[in-house]
């Protein structure tokens, strides 16, 4: 496409978006901090001519953090870290894709591997994946994690971290996203606790054409967000618990490869990010029983350039993403900022971008994205997971082995 055509397309797209200055409200102080609206951060041509369902669903106005902040690399010696969980004392539990679990100090010192981790299948996109602490970790020392179990299945396990922090005790696999499939992609892999002490876990639809339809099937554990108790049982009151033939653990369905889960600190709502194919990466606010559309609707296309299925983006009864990207950024782990060290970030959503090689900052008001910023673009790292530490700073791990700290100056 020539330069004039590119400019005309960009102008046409921007004309679809609202021009405004958004504001960010600190609920605890009832103060409003104005945020200057800039041009959208995405400037590349989209992969398709698909139109958003509503203004602001993609390529929203850019924003820029006004407060000075500093970025520190605490270590570059991790081996393909995938998940990070903040310990109460300021240290972190970090999973490494090949199957090792380590404690990393706030200064970046990496501990020896913790023994007792069950064997993982680390081929393809598999391995030791997301991790979270029991809400009562301070008293019971329990941790939960997702991994690709030999046999190519997304599994959820739990164990007690020993008092000397050298081993996992009483390891138990509490959930498996059956059926088995001999593929090595799209495991999903995040785990997070909701406010009621129930565990939410994401599973992928395993990528291949033969398994895709299972994302729409309530008889399959693939392409889902499941809600289970600490022992792996379906939570009473799950949306399909009384439906014949449906899996009672299913909370939402129609997902492709959901690698991000986070609980909003004010509302308690579950938010999710997932990979699209060529375009169509999504951020969703997950509602119980809702169908998020894959592969029936999508804003992405096949890697070959062909349309996915019927090539439709909207259908009655199927949920629209709150936000999507085209081209992709490959969103992975994410967290809401609930600290007060950088007040303008409060309740903003931060997402690690793999192919995008940055950290996404989304400003959200009334469940709508009103601003987007790209942080750490110059680092050229594949950001795999982001969390908030016990000190209120943000921490992120990258596929290349780095652990970052991001905090006010």
Residues known to be catalytic: 186
Residues in CB range of 263: below 8 A, 6 or more apart = 192, 193, 194, 195, 269, 270, 271, 336
Ramachandran quadrant class, 3 (left: phi over 0; alpha: psi -120 to 50; beta: rest): alpha
Question: Could you give the CA distance from residue 133 to residue 26 in angstroms, rounded to a whole number?
Answer: 27
Do the strands 257-263 and 270-275 form a parallel or antiparallel pair, or are they unpaired?
antiparallel
Given a contact cutoff of 8 angstroms between Cβ atoms, the answer to whether 326 and 299 are in contact is yes
Buried b (16+ CB within 10 A) or exposed e, 77-101: ebebbbbbbbbeeebbbbbbbebbb
Given a contact cutoff of 8 angstroms between Cβ atoms, the answer to whether 135 and 196 are in contact is no
Which tokens go with 116? 């007792």
Q: How many CB atoms lie within 10 A of CB 378?
A: 9
Q: How far is CA 54 from CA 252, 315, 322, in A?
A: 23, 14, 9
Q: What is the DSSP string of 98-133?
A: TTEEEEE-TT-PBPPPPBTPPP---STT-SEEEEEE
Question: Could you give the CA distance from residue 212 to residue 255 in angstroms, rounded to a whole number?
Answer: 9
Question: Could you give the CA distance from residue 180 to residue 184 in angstroms, rounded to a whole number?
Answer: 11
Tell me the CA end-to-end span of the chain in Å, nearest whole number.
44
């Amino acid at each position: 496409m020539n330069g004039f055509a590119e400019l005309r397309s960009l102008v046409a797209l921007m004309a679809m978006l609202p021009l405004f200055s958004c504001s960010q409200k600190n609920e605890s102080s009832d103060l409003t901090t104005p945020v200057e609206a800039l041009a959208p951060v995405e400037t590349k041509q989209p992969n398709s001519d698909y139109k958003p369902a509503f203004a602001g669903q993609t390529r929203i106005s850019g924003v820029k953090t006004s407060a000075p902040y500093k970025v520190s690399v605490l270590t570059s010696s991790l081996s393909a870290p995938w998940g990070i969980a903040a310990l109460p004392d300021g240290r972190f539990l970090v999973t490494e894709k090949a199957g090792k679990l380590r404690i990393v100090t706030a200064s970046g010192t990496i501990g020896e591997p913790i023994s007792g981790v069950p064997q993982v299948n680390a081929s393809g996109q598999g391995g030791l994946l997301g991790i979270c602490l029991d809400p009562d970790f301070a008293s019971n020392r329990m941790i939960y994690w997702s991994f690709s179990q030999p046999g190519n299945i997304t599994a959820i396990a739990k164990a007690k971290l020993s008092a000397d922090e050298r081993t996992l005790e009483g390891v138990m696999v509490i959930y498996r996203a059956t059926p088995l499939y001999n593929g090595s992609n799209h495991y999903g892999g995040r785990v997070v606790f909701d406010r009621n002490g129930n565990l939410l876990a994401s599973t992928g639809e395993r990528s291949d054409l033969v398994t895709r339809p299972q994302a729409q099937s309530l008889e399959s554990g693939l392409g889902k967000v499941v809600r289970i108790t600490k022992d792996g049982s379906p939570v009473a009151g799950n949306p399909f618990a009384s439906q014949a033939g449906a899996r009672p653990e299913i909370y939402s369905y129609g997902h492709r490869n959901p690698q991000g889960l986070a609980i909003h600190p004010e509302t308690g709502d579950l938010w999710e990010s997932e990979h699209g194919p060529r375009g169509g990466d999504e951020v969703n606010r997950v509602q119980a029983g809702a169908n998020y559309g894959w592969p029936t609707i999508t804003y992405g296309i096949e890697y070959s350039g062909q349309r996915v299925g019927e090539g439709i983006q909207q259908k009655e009864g199927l949920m629209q993403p709150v936000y999507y990207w085209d081209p992709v950024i490959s969103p992975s782990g994410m967290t809401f900022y609930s600290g007060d060290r950088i007040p303008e970030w409060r309740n903003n959503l931060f997402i690690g971008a793999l192919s995008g090689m940055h950290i996404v900052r989304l400003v959200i008001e009334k469940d709508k994205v009103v601003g987007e910023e790209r942080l750490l673009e110059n680092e050229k790292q594949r950001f795999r997971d982001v969390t908030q530490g016990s000190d209120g700073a943000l921490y992120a791990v990258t596929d290349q082995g780095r652990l970052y700290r991001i905090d006010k100056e």
